[in-house]
Amino acid sequence: MKTIQIMPALFVITMTMINCSTESNNETNEEKNAKGIINLSGDDTSAVGTSLEVGDIEYGRVDLTGLEDSIVIVPKGATISEDSPTLSPGDPGYVESIIDFQDSENGFIIVAGEEVISMTIVVDGVQRQYGCESNFGTFTVCGEISIDKNSREAVFTDTTVLNIDTGTILTMNGTVQW
């Protein structure tokens, strides 16, 4: 059975870009009211589909992302534990280790800040990894990502992520709330 893993290289970039703290600054959302759909367009939609339905979102999990102003998004039916990972940050399964997936053969993990995204989509056990970063110019530019802690909302507007294996671009549009 394939497992969902975050891209190690982008994860390290995410971890070091703003804050390398190991403290968690997340706001607990006991009711898990996460909702939203991220629409996808691009060549890979024939393999990954045209939308991602949100199931759980965690904001400000510095222990997972290294960024205070960031979110971790997983699909409907999956939940993110409030526990800290037991793996080391460089381990590809670091974020995945605290996510309970209802279906490990189909799902996604999105780790996003306003300047960076690391995303893995798994369909029928086939894993595809995507990413972007807008600060250093070493990868494809993300486009618009807005994360508003006060309104508990993130908006993806023509946000582009690159498939790290094929070089194809997926464009993300949608609003998610937590």
Q: Are 118 and 6 in contact (CB under 8 A)?
A: yes
| pLDDT profile of the chain (178 residues), mean per 10 | 43 37 40 87 98 96 85 94 77 76 92 93 96 88 95 97 97 98
pLDDT of the residue at 33 = 77
CA 80/CA 54 separation, integer angstroms: 12
> What are the residue ranges spanned by the domains of the chain?
8-25+33-177
- Which residue in the block uniquely carries the two structure tokens 């045209």? 50
Other C-beta atoms closer than 10 Å to the C-beta of 106 total 18
CA 65/CA 72 separation, integer angstroms: 8
| Helices marked H in the chain | 8-17, 45-48, 62-65
What the block records as the tokens of 141 is 């530019």
pLDDT of the residue at 32 = 63
SS3 96: helix
pLDDT of the residue at 65 = 81
Q: Are 119 and 133 in contact (CB under 8 A)?
A: no
**E strands within 45-178?**
51-59, 70-75, 79-80, 99-100, 107-113, 116-123, 126-133, 144-148, 153-163, 169-177
